[in-house]
Amino acid sequence: MNSLNHLLNQEKKPNRIVILGANGFIGKTLYCLLKQENLEVLPLGRQELDLTNESSSDKLVSLLKETDSVVFLSTITPDKGNNNETFVQNMLMAKNVCYALEKVKVSHLIYLSSDTVYPLNHGIISETSPAHPENLFGAMHLSREYMLKGLTSVPLAILRSTLVYGFEDTHNSYGPNRLRRMAFNEGKISLFGQGEENRDHIFIDDLIKIIRHVLFHKSTGVLNLVTGQSISYMELAKKIASFFDSPIEISCSERKNPITHRHFDSSSIFKAFPTFKFTSLDEGLKSTYEKELNSRCTLSCP
- Is the pTM for the entire model greater than 0.85? yes
More confident residue, 145 or 298: 145
For the chain, first and last CA: distance in Å? 56
Q: What is the mean pLDDT of residues 93-117?
A: 97
pLDDT at 28: 96
Q: What is the rounded average pLDDT for all residues in the chain?
A: 94
pLDDT at 76: 93
Whether residue 301 is predicted with pLDDT greater than 80 in this model: the reply is no
- Spatial neighbors of 27 by CB under 8 A, at least 6 apart, are 19, 21, 43, 45, 73
151: CB partners within 8 A, 6+ apart:
98, 101, 102, 109
CB atoms within 10 A of CB 119: 15
27 pLDDT exceeds 90?
yes
Instruction: Summarize the confidence of residues 198-212 as an average pLDDT.
Output: 97
- Span 105-132, average pLDDT: 94
Cβ(284)–Cβ(209) below 8 Å: no
Mean pLDDT for the stretch of residues 116-145:
94
More confident residue, 248 or 257: 248
Show me where the domains of the chain are located.
5-168+201-229+261-278
pLDDT of 127 higher than 70: yes
CATH superfamily of domain region 5-168+201-229+261-278: NAD(P)-binding Rossmann-like Domain (3.40.50.720)
Q: For residue 56, give the 3-state DSSP assignment.
A: helix
Q: What is the pLDDT of residue 120?
A: 86
What are the DSSP E strand ranges found in the chain? 5-6, 16-20, 41-44, 68-72, 108-114, 124-125, 156-161, 163-165, 188-191, 198-203, 219-225, 230-232, 249-252, 263-264
pLDDT at 82: 83
